[in-house]
Amino acid sequence: MNTQNILRFLADLAQNNTREWMQDNKKVYQQAKKDFEEFTSEVIEEIATFDPNITGLTAKDCLFRLHRDVRFSKDKSPYKLNFGASITKGGRKSHWAGYYLQIQPGGESFMAGGCYMPASENLAKIRQEIDYNAEEFRKLLAADGFKKYFGTLSGEQVKTSPKGYKKDNPNIDLLRHKSFTMWHKVTDKQVLSKNYKTLIVHAFEAMKPVNDFLNTAME
């Protein structure tokens, strides 16, 4: 688990975000990418022990490219400054609720998960499930493990109420969500610690019941 090498490469990239620098440091990049792939593989194996939906996934199914799509961006720097992996049933392009891991220097690393901006059909299904089973969902959000790592449900919300739901709905605070996400930021010191993988796995295990609720809604 060479997270130090990953952080060092990304810190250097942040100071030299050009194709020329990347070409000159191709071997350094390839080693850091390999280290992140191997680390992600280890995390996948751990998650699969409590979430069978993840069984059979490979790191390559989950990893995002370092190259940025700059076509519609004012920022033309060619590379992201992080390594990220969406450990989700079906891989990184899947619509299912899952687990997200990101390593980025400067205290920008985090674990996250849930459903980020689900398509309208799935958003409607999730809202309906919450409306029908809000008490169950609130219990999941109030669980000790969830509160310890994530505090509260996050994600963009509509300002008033979504179509089909009244403003005085007792669960309007949950129904307003357009994304149903969970975040736990970590420091560089934590990324470098021998307990980093254990922290990730414990956080993801605490997240699983909420993911299960969201995935049941979308089935």
Cα–Cα distance, 216 to 214 (Å, whole number): 6
CB 160 within 8 A of CB 94: no
Domains of the chain and CATH, by start = 3-218 (3.30.930)
Mean pLDDT of 118-127: 97
CB 148 within 8 A of CB 169: no
pTM of the model as a whole: 0.94
CB 88 within 8 A of CB 62: yes
How high does pLDDT run on average in the chain?
95
Cα–Cα distance, 219 to 12 (Å, whole number): 43
Which H/E stretch holds residue 43? helix 26-48
Pick from 50, 35, 48: nearest CA to 1: 35
Kindly tell me if the per-residue pLDDT of 13 is higher than 90.
Answer: yes
Pick from 1, 40, 27: nearest CA to 12: 27
Q: What pLDDT score does 74 carry? A: 77
At 120, the pLDDT band (50, 70, 90 cuts) reads: very high
Cα–Cα distance, 102 to 84 (Å, whole number): 4
Q: What pLDDT score does 141 carry? A: 98
Cα–Cα distance, 157 to 136 (Å, whole number): 21
At 219, the pLDDT band (50, 70, 90 cuts) reads: very high
Kindly tell me if the per-residue pLDDT of 72 is higher than 80.
Answer: no
Minimum mean pLDDT range among 12-16, 75-79, 198-202, 204-208: 75-79
Q: What pLDDT score does 106 carry? A: 96
Mean pLDDT of 44-56: 96
Cα–Cα distance, 140 to 204 (Å, whole number): 14
Cα–Cα distance, 45 to 159 (Å, whole number): 40
In which residue are the tokens 């191709």 written? 26
DSSP type of residue 53: G
